[in-house]
Amino acid sequence: MRVFVAIDLPEDVKNKISEFINGFDKNVADIKFVDPKNLHITLKFLGEVREDSVKQIVNVLSDYVPKSFSYKLHIAGFGFFGSPKFIRALWLGLKEGKNETIQIMKDLNKKLDHIRHEDYDLSPHLTIGRVRNSHDADALLSQIRKLADVKIGEIQVDTIKLKKSFLTPEGPMYNDIELFQLGG
């Protein structure tokens, strides 16, 4: 099964993100936006793992997560991955609480390295869409720049979830495997 560790978002924040997405000019590009019910912040993608590995992951998270403190996380800022002429994905950024999120990501990378090794810069974000085709790259970039300073809201990060994903004809679906309460 495909698994990952994530921070889920409360419904009010998902609704704000949905409003933000609905206000986006969709004529400039063919964008597959994330279904609001699937919005989350990935802390560690583990990929395809066997059932016995899931038990190991649960044990690692059970030991680590309660030692981490809950914190506030501000979702603000809008940007993209790719180049200005070939934008691949759209994301919302993290502001206050970003450093705490990066620390958790670093810790999870170390503790779960035996399951999946990652060797890239950590850039916590919230993917909201993937660009399939840009009809007007300059107009898309202009729109992103106009919305760059968006402020979505604040969440209290007090739980981390181990989730599994599976594909359906309607798109990806995510189910919780286990929920871990942060300490403090």
Query: How far is the C-alpha of 22 from the C-alpha of 26, rounded, in Å?
Result: 9
Select which of 114, 117, 125, 135 is catalytic: 125
Q: Is 135 one of the annotated active-site residues of the chain?
A: no
Distances (CA, A) of 12 to 16, 122, 152, 175: 6, 27, 10, 20
Q: What single-letter amino acid sits at 32?
A: K
Question: What is the 3-class SS of 58-116, one letter each residue?
Answer: HHHHHHHHHHCECEEEEEEEEEEEEECCEEEEEEEEECCCHHHHHHHHHHHHHHCCCCC
Element (H, E) at 5: strand 2-8
Q: Looking at 40, 114, 117, 135, which residue is catalytic?
A: 40
For this structure, is 125 an active site residue?
A: yes
| Cα pseudo-dihedral 34, 23, 147, 132, rounded to 10 | 40
Q: What is the DSSP string of 124-157?
A: --EEEEEEEEES-HHHHHHHHHHTTT-EEEEEEE
Write out the catalytic residue numbers. Answer: 40, 125
